[in-house]
Amino acid sequence: MSATPEIPAPMTSSAAALDLAFLQEIKSMLLEAVDASEPPGGLSADEALFGPDSRLDLDSLDGLQLSVAIQKRYGIRMADSKDLRRALTSLTVLASYIAVHKK
């Protein structure tokens, strides 16, 4: 029985504050990959990226484009759609996932 890779817990606000440059890098990569502009008022680190609460209005094709961008930029292949969905919860969760898994 193989273990499913775990999504790391989101960074605490103090950890996120220490790594604002990395969060900005992730945000820029995300917006570029899905060809979107930052919503009015900005995109907060804990804001939903997908679903009814998301202001970005992303769909499954955007998720695929993000997966490809993450693989190209960070060398992380996210083949499991459940892992991808969990990692794309918010910028904070995505940054934590990439920080743990990047090559």
Provide the whole-model pTM: 0.79
Taking 90 as the threshold, does the pLDDT of residue 8 lie above it?
Answer: no
**What is the residue extent of each domain of the chain?**
15-31+50-101
Tell me the backbone φ, ψ of residue 16, rounded to 5 degrees. -65, -40
Residue 26: CA count within 13 A, CB half-sphere: 26
Q: What pLDDT is attached to residue 15?
A: 45
Asked if residue 52 has pLDDT above 80, the reply is yes
Q: What is the pLDDT of residues 87-97, one digit of tens each?
A: 999 999 999 99
Kindly tell me the burial class for residue 97, based on how many C-beta atoms sit within 10 Å of its own C-beta (0-12, 13-18, 19 or more): buried
DSSP state of 37: P
CA 97, 10, 8, 34 dihedral sign is negative
